[in-house]
Structures are given as C-alpha cells and as structure tokens.
Amino acid sequence: MSRISQAHPDRVEVRGRDLTGDLMGRLSFTEYFYLLLTGEEATDDQRYFLDLLLVAIAEHGMMPTNVAARMTLAADPGSLQGAVAAGILGCGPVILGTADACAALLDRARAEVDAGATPEDAAAKLARELREAGEKLPGFGHPVHRPVDPRAERILELAEERGVAATNVALARAFRDAVAAAWGRPLTLNVSMPIAAVMLDLGFPVSAVKAVPILGRTGGLLAHLAEEREHPIGFLMAGAAEDAIEYRPASDR
C-alpha cells in the first residue's frame, strides 16, 4: 500500500489532493516536498526553515561528491543522471554530514529530558558515554570551519529569532559545552546538529531528517554538472590527482 500518489487517465492524485486542480500554482516546491514527505501541508515556520536548511546545505565548494559527479560526466557526457547518482552515492557522514545521526542522538537526549533531566545534564551524560566508548559525537568537528561553522550559528540564530527553538535546540546548544568538557577542548558545532535540532523542534520525524541534506545537495550537484558541460574540468581534476599521488612499485616496499 502507498499513500503518496496515483495517476489516473484524467488526473494525478498526490497525498489525497488533485495535482493540477489544487497543488500546481498553489504550493512552492519546498511546500510540495514537505507534503510528499509527511503527508501534511507545511506551516509558515516549517516552510521557512525547510527552505533555509536546503539553502544552507546545498553547496559547499569542490567537495568529493561534486568532484565524483564532474568526473563521471566527463567520462560519459550523456549520463547526467549517472553523474548525479555518483555524487549522491558519495554523500555520507564524512562529506554531507551527520544530520540523521544528530537527530537520533537528540532523540535519546530528549528522552532523558522527558524523564526529568535538564538539557545540560542530558547532553553531558551522553557526551561522556560516547567519549568513554571511544566514539565520535555527531554534529561536532569540521575540517574547514573553525572555531565556528557560520551556517550552524545562523540557523540557531534564526530559530531563536522566529521563536521555534525548543527542547532540541536547547540540547544542541548544551552539547557544545558538554563536548568541550568530555573531549577537553572545544569542537566546532557543525551545520548537521542545528539542521536536526530545528527539524525536530518543528515536528519532523527523525526518519525524515536525512532527506533534507540529500535533496539540497542534489541541487548543488546539478549546478556543478551544468558548469561542467560549459567549462569542463573533470579530466583536469583526474590529471591533478594522478600528479599528486606518488607511484611506488611493489619492489620498492
């Protein structure tokens, strides 16, 4: 059974609504994406922040995902969809971020708060546990943005300004101090944690959080591929990689 859509000879029904008679011309793509994902129509705040988060995560320079997509298109110029897929397949916790893992962590912390803990105590407890287990804490650290990730700070600022910040945003802020205490030094709060915190405070399910970085980055990939067709650099990047790596035959071990 699917509750999303069905095509009929004379109409298309999406989430119980007529596509051409109702949705087209009334909803923006962001609002339509929210409807597709959740089955509900977005509130003003949900639409505003979904837009904001998609903009925040869509583009971040010549990342490996974009490099992979460009090199795929260079090798097969007719396969735009294959190049997009190559880029999306490279979107994991190292490159695109850990918004889904952050959402799961916030969900655990929220359970502690619901049981009576303060956000600060809940964050401190989980940070200590992860540190003692030798695990990384999702949403912290960044190879470029130090000491702060400007995207993360702007998301939190706007969440407070528009009055949508609730328990999950409070937990995200509490984790900043908890991580510094557990790791013995401050770590950058990166964009993934505020993405998860704001989405959860706005009522998105944990399972939906990863969809936002994937959709946003797809837009960025398409921009890189449009540029690749106009100004190809895929093979230049491949050549640069070849030049940067020293070849050492087995006999030289």
- Tens digits of residue pLDDT in 78-105: 999 999 999 999 888 877 779 999 999 9
CATH of the domain at 190: 1.10.230.10
Tell me, what's the pLDDT at 211?
Answer: 94
- Tell whether 13 is covered by a domain: no
- Tell whether 32 is covered by a domain: no
Q: Using CA atoms, how far apart are residues 217 and 237, in angstroms rounded to an integer?
A: 20
Tell me, what's the pLDDT at 228?
Answer: 95
Which residue's entry shows tokens 């962590």? 105
Range of the domain at 72: 43-235
Type of residue found at 36: L
**H or E segment to which residue 5 belongs:** strand 5-7
- Tell whether 240 is covered by a domain: no
- Tens digits of residue pLDDT in 154-192: 999 999 999 999 999 999 999 999 999 999 999 999 999
pTM of the model: 0.92
Tell me, what's the pLDDT at 86?
Answer: 95
- Tell whether 220 is covered by a domain: yes
As given in the structure block, the two tokens for residue 175 are 């984790």
Type of residue found at 231: H
Distance (Å) of CA 232 to CA 51, 70, 224: 30, 8, 10
Tell me, what's the pLDDT at 116?
Answer: 97
- Tell whether 165 is covered by a domain: yes
- Tell whether 114 is covered by a domain: yes
The runs of H, that is alpha helices, within the chain are 29-38, 44-57, 64-75, 80-89, 99-114, 119-132, 150-161, 167-183, 192-201, 211-230, 234-244
Q: Give Cβ neighbours of residue 215 (< 8 Å, ≥ 6 apart).
A: 33, 54
Number of domains in the chain: 1
Residue 144 has pLDDT above 90, yes or no: no
Residue 128 has pLDDT above 70, yes or no: yes
Tell me the pLDDT band of 239, cut-offs 50, 70 and 90. Answer: confident
The mean of the pLDDT values for the chain is: 94
- Tell whether 23 is covered by a domain: no
Please give the backbone phi and psi of residue 208, each rounded to the nearest 5 degrees, phi first: -95, -10
- Tell whether 7 is covered by a domain: no
